[in-house]
Structure 1
Amino acid sequence: MCGFVTFFSNSTIAEESKESLREMRRTIIHRGPNQDGEYMDDMLYLGFRRLSILDLANGQQPYSYNNELEIVFNGEIYNYIYLRDELIKEGYEFSTNSEVEVLAKLYKHFGEKFVEKLRGMFSFIIWDKVNKVFFGARDPFGIKPFYYVENENGLYVASELKSFHCNEDTTYREIDNEALHNYLTFQFVPEPKTMLKDIKILKPGHTIRKEYGKSHEINCYYSIKFNPTPGSKDEKMEEIRKVIDDSVRLHMQSEVPVASFLSGGIDSTVVTALAKKYKPDLKTFTIGFDRQGYTEIDLAKETADKLGVENISKIITHEDFANELPKIIWHMDEPVADPAAIPLYFIAQEAAKHVTVILSGEGSDEVFGGYTIYHEPNSLKMFNYMPSMVKKILKSGASMIPEGTRGKSFIERGCTPMNERYVGNAKIFLDNEKQTILRNFSSDFTIPRAVKDIYAKAASYDPITQMQFVDFNTWLTGDILVKADRMTMAHSLELRVPFLDKEVFRVASKLTSEEKINGHVTKYLLRESFKSELDLTAIDRKKLGYPVPIRLWLKDELYSWAENIIKESNADQYINKASALKLLEDHRKGPFDLSRKIWTILVFLIWYKIFIENQSPFLEQKEIAVDRN
């Protein structure tokens, strides 16, 4: 895993700009502590930080090819050996075993279309010196980050947004109001927007191209498409076992130590069990909290013992949680209010003491249909037979029922169209609730507007597959993969996700809704595929993820801490402090759990202090005062 900073200038790069570009590169040293490199000519700068994984001796970057190409590359190409062999048949010779040399010769042979052949996680930039073309791409699922800014001076690209704040030419601090509205809905800003108006993200499966004197252009080379196909259950199960095993095998490619995260669920259990086949002395890592009911350590240790692998665990306290939060948000780049990011940060910190590469189960829920909410279309099926007028009357009546009354939510959800009801795994604030929180509330930036284009592309899918498609295009890219990359890279740890593989998705995309959600069982065919191979209770265990006790902490130990963050914030032009404080007090009094709403506000306020007010958590690291029981 690595990181890069690039700049394609519209004119000769000024001497005074060079140090700013180098500072942009230094900011991401955590992404690549093993090697520092740069290439510069009159119009172009490529800066690189390397974390050595493959071809330790010869993988230096930027990589120069035949005085024609200069390349920076972040990620892993899992089929690079196959592609290398194909190029050798075409007469190409290789002087290294590195992936970046394969990329150079693929580009030379196939041109920009070569990106369609890649199987892996990546973002890269190729400077074609002969044709004066600046070309980049991001992997099909968005596993690796790719931020960019184009202004009158040229096109900047960076692996992390924080790099832009080291250069006066790219230090943007104007908040995008629509992005802020969407953040309160999703707990993150859906791509390609960021919270900052002038900084964008290249969408997964897209390329970016710029010629001298012209604006950049963006094109799609890969898009997620589901193709539910009836077929033999046994044949599908065999295909699932084979393709996941092959993906794990490829994801084990490394010249440095590889380990696995292990929770109590099926995803990490399958990955760990298959990885052990290729590395019998595999280490596993688990995290938990010092609150009963908020740890999977015992379950993970039980699974580890049955699999015959070593398990290393770590317990987090609320003091750990609060004191590291500013640093965590700095690493995150953008406000992502998923509490699970914090335990991921700590377990990555522990794992980095032992290994350089870690396997994880991210993506399985989106690929195989693993979220409990995917039961909803089946549970609400009765409403499909009701006339729209009846549903309108029922919904109106339900609105008058007191909050918390049993059945109220069921009626409201059943009488609400899918595209208004489901926007992904997290829906924090409703549109009407934002009016009391946001100073600059606009009725234009609604929840249906945020997902309109996604639902238009998913119109032909069944309801469960529509939900998957929404999560692929929002939750996965904006939350799951952002925290996975940033929290592991904070400790120079490379995270690999075998479920998010083009071949795995090709197989999973053919599953019918019944093969994903069967009765009360999620990921039905995935579980069935490994039942005979893995005699473990984890196969049938419900998903917990990284359970975080913020509901309890915000009532007790962290109440005063949260109150102080709100009161001391200078983000008054965006957030109504009185409303935020009322939410906090209402949560403490009960009976409703408002912790996720409060957490979303708190993360934004801390992010604002760091990135808008420029108060880095590394300048004066002080412990945050918390209440102690």
Structure 2
Amino acid sequence: MGEFSQIKTASIKNILTLRYDSTQKTFLPKLTWKDFIEKPITEPLVYIEKTIRNTIKSKFDNSKLKVVIALSGGIDSTLILSLLRKTCPHLDIDAISVKFANSVDESVNAAKIAERFEADHHTIYIENYLKELPKAISIIKLPFWDLHWYYVVKKAKSLSKSLVSGDGGDELFGGYTFRYKKFLSLIKQDFSPTEKVMAYLKCHERDWVPDQEDLFDKKAYFSWNEIYNNLKPYFDNLLPPIAQVFLADFNGKLLYNWTPLYTKIHKHFGVRSISPILSKELISFATHLPYKLKYDNKKNIGKILLRKVLQKYVSDNTIYKTKQGFSVNTINLWNSHGYELCDYYLSDARIIKEGWIKKDWVKKHLKKLDKNPDVRYVNKFLGLLAFEIWFRLFISKEMKSNDTLG
């Protein structure tokens, strides 16, 4: 673990404000506003299904091995499973779902979907989501805490060398309806690009806190203008507002969190990853789709085309309506393990002693959270815990990757 001689200040500030690091290498192309200009299309449903099936066929057509799919029970993973089964009717498929303690249980519905498409279903039960955080961070080499994919790939490794996912459906086909609705309600016609960025950030309130400027100490001087300038190109162009959000979303967590982090986890466990929705052909096609085929702002419905393709294989009521995609309830996690772990590690934090994070901020809000947990501050403390664990692994080198929390 000797590869870190110094801490990248911009990286830390990005992760603790946006929950992604735009300074790192991307594994997908970074897109520009011109990539999201609408183009006329014919038979989009046929093209989507054909392209996904062609990707699957190229990977598994003659395969006699097992394949694993990450199955949350939502539109994207259910669609991929249905097309995987249609394309490869004799393929041996295992489906993995995650059940977090004291969180919405999506595994029951996922099990029904797995049975519908003749896949053997497995549920990973995670009681302490943070327990193996040192191991996960040692693999990705960045201070992120939301690493459910580590558990998914770890389980997949025991079943197969290939893992299929529905990643990319939200970003390419308009799945973040809550964000679109809020953003469009916040902006006005005469908003400047910076004002649009500020509105966009208000749609990501769980990633930052109201007193974000007071969090950082002298080694990580924080300015909102830095964040605004990073995001400004996505809103300083000729696209309509909804398409600007599509552009910002694609170049956000998908590009600089999930894809690079998942790639490192796959490599560590020796698992081949297949994400049919993120094929070059489908990215090029989906980004130029007419916006009304992604999001209906009157009905507040997204992923319109994916829903229509999926309707050929399952009924609407089969899909879990409150699907969150392997999400842990952070308030309940805080009450069961998070507070105790943050109190222990941050009361004598290296990131405070070394001048990265302010002691007074941590002390003040930790005391408040003991009495009244606020999801935004809970998420921030989990981010600080990850930063502290990362620091002890790579900088002070006093922790080992096999150490566990709690």
Q: In terms of mean alpha carbon deviation, does 481-490 or 271-280 score higher? A: 481-490
Query: How is 1:512-527 mapped onto 2 (pairs within 5 angstroms)?
Result: 512-518=290-296, 519-527=299-307
2:177 pairs with one of 365, 368, 372 = 372
- Distance (Å, rounded) in 1 between the aligned partners of 2:159 and 2:379: 33
Residue 350 of structure 2 is aligned to residue 570 of structure 1: yes
- Distance (Å, rounded) in 2 between the aligned partners of 1:510 and 1:185: 30
Residue 241 of structure 2 is aligned to residue 448 of structure 1: no
Higher relative contact order (CA 8 A, sep 6+): 2
1:345 pairs with one of 145, 150, 153 = 150
Distance 1:229 1:267, change over 3 A: same
Match of 2:366 in 1: 584
How far residue 255 of structure 1 moved from its aligned partner, in angstroms, is: 7.2
How far residue 508 of structure 1 moved from its aligned partner, in angstroms, is: 1.4
Match of 2:188 in 1: 384
Distance 1:480 1:622, change over 3 A: closer
Residue 392 of structure 2 is aligned to residue 609 of structure 1: yes
How far residue 454 of structure 1 moved from its aligned partner, in angstroms, is: 3.8
Q: CA RMSD in A?
A: 3.0
Distance 1:223 1:488, change over 3 A: farther
Residue 161 of structure 2 is aligned to residue 356 of structure 1: yes
* Secondary structure at 1:520 match in 2: coil
Match of 1:555 in 2: 335
Match of 2:275 in 1: 497
Supply the AA of the counterpart residue of 2:287. S
1:299 pairs with one of 72, 91, 109 = 109
- Distance (Å, rounded) in 1 between the aligned partners of 2:326 and 2:34: 27
Match of 1:487 in 2: 265
Supply the AA of the counterpart residue of 2:82. A
- Distance (Å, rounded) in 2 between the aligned partners of 1:282 and 1:555: 37
Match of 2:7 in 1: 175
Structure 1 runs (4+) greater than 6 angstroms displaced: none
- Distance (Å, rounded) in 1 between the aligned partners of 2:203 and 2:67: 30
Supply the AA of the counterpart residue of 2:290. T
Q: Is the 8 A contact 1:187 1:426 kept in 2?
A: no
- Distance (Å, rounded) in 2 between the aligned partners of 1:307 and 1:442: 50
Query: How is 1:230-245 mapped onto 2 (pairs within 5 angstroms)?
Result: 230-231=40-41, 235-245=43-53
The Cα offsets for residues 500-519 of structure 1, whole Å up to 9 and x where unpaired, read as: 01111232123222211112
- Distance (Å, rounded) in 2 between the aligned partners of 1:275 and 1:565: 45
How far residue 360 of structure 1 moved from its aligned partner, in angstroms, is: 0.4
2:95 pairs with one of 269, 284, 291 = 284
Distance 1:249 1:587, change over 3 A: farther
Distance 1:309 1:224, change over 3 A: farther
Structure with greater proportional strand content = 1
Q: Is the 8 A contact 1:329 1:607 kept in 2?
A: yes
Supply the AA of the counterpart residue of 2:70. F
Residue 283 of structure 2 is aligned to residue 474 of structure 1: no
Q: Is the 8 A contact 1:527 1:539 kept in 2?
A: no
From the CA coordinates, give the structure whose radius of gyration is larger: 1
2:313 pairs with one of 510, 515, 533 = 533
Distance 1:329 1:475, change over 3 A: same
Q: Is the 8 A contact 1:241 1:530 kept in 2?
A: no
Distance 1:263 1:608, change over 3 A: same
- Distance (Å, rounded) in 2 between the aligned partners of 1:622 and 1:591: 27
Distance 1:279 1:223, change over 3 A: farther
Distance 1:302 1:425, change over 3 A: farther
2:133 pairs with one of 325, 342, 347 = 325
- Distance (Å, rounded) in 1 between the aligned partners of 2:224 and 2:60: 47
Size of the alignment, in residue pairs? 396
Match of 1:262 in 2: 71
* Secondary structure at 1:282 match in 2: strand
Query: How is 1:12-27 mapped onto 2 (pairs within 5 angstroms)?
Result: none
Match of 1:116 in 2: none
Distance 1:374 1:559, change over 3 A: closer
Distance 1:244 1:539, change over 3 A: farther
> TM-score, normalising length from structure 2?
0.87
How far residue 432 of structure 1 moved from its aligned partner, in angstroms, is: 4.8
- Distance (Å, rounded) in 2 between the aligned partners of 1:488 and 1:584: 35
* Secondary structure at 1:358 match in 2: strand
* Secondary structure at 1:544 match in 2: coil
* Secondary structure at 2:188 match in 1: helix
The Cα offsets for residues 558-583 of structure 1, whole Å up to 9 and x where unpaired, read as: 32221111013212210113312332
Q: Is the 8 A contact 2:168 2:278 kept in 1?
A: yes
- Distance (Å, rounded) in 2 between the aligned partners of 1:540 and 1:289: 16
Q: Is the 8 A contact 2:93 2:118 kept in 1?
A: no
Distance 1:537 1:308, change over 3 A: farther
Q: Is the 8 A contact 1:263 1:300 kept in 2?
A: yes
The Cα offsets for residues 155-211 of structure 1, whole Å up to 9 and x where unpaired, read as: xxxxxxx6xx3xxxxx44222323322222112321xx25xxxxxx367449xxxxx
1:460 pairs with one of 238, 244, 260 = 238
Supply the AA of the counterpart residue of 1:245. R
- Distance (Å, rounded) in 1 between the aligned partners of 2:180 and 2:29: 29
Supply the AA of the counterpart residue of 1:608. F
Q: Is the 8 A contact 1:266 1:541 kept in 2?
A: no
Match of 1:227 in 2: 37
* Secondary structure at 1:225 match in 2: helix
* Secondary structure at 1:557 match in 2: helix
- Distance (Å, rounded) in 2 between the aligned partners of 1:431 and 1:622: 33
How far residue 598 of structure 1 moved from its aligned partner, in angstroms, is: 1.1
Distance 1:536 1:549, change over 3 A: same
Q: Is the 8 A contact 2:68 2:95 kept in 1?
A: yes
Supply the AA of the counterpart residue of 1:606. I
Match of 1:22 in 2: none
- Distance (Å, rounded) in 2 between the aligned partners of 1:223 and 1:454: 7
How far residue 539 of structure 1 moved from its aligned partner, in angstroms, is: 4.6
Q: Is the 8 A contact 1:358 1:494 kept in 2?
A: yes
Supply the AA of the counterpart residue of 1:286. S
Supply the AA of the counterpart residue of 2:98. I
- Distance (Å, rounded) in 2 between the aligned partners of 1:451 and 1:188: 12
How far residue 480 of structure 1 moved from its aligned partner, in angstroms, is: 1.6
2:60 pairs with one of 249, 252, 269 = 252
Supply the AA of the counterpart residue of 1:330. S
Q: Is the 8 A contact 2:69 2:164 kept in 1?
A: yes
Task: Return 5+ residue gaps in structure 1 as ranges.
Answer: 1-161, 166-170, 195-200, 207-219, 392-414
How far residue 270 of structure 1 moved from its aligned partner, in angstroms, is: 0.8
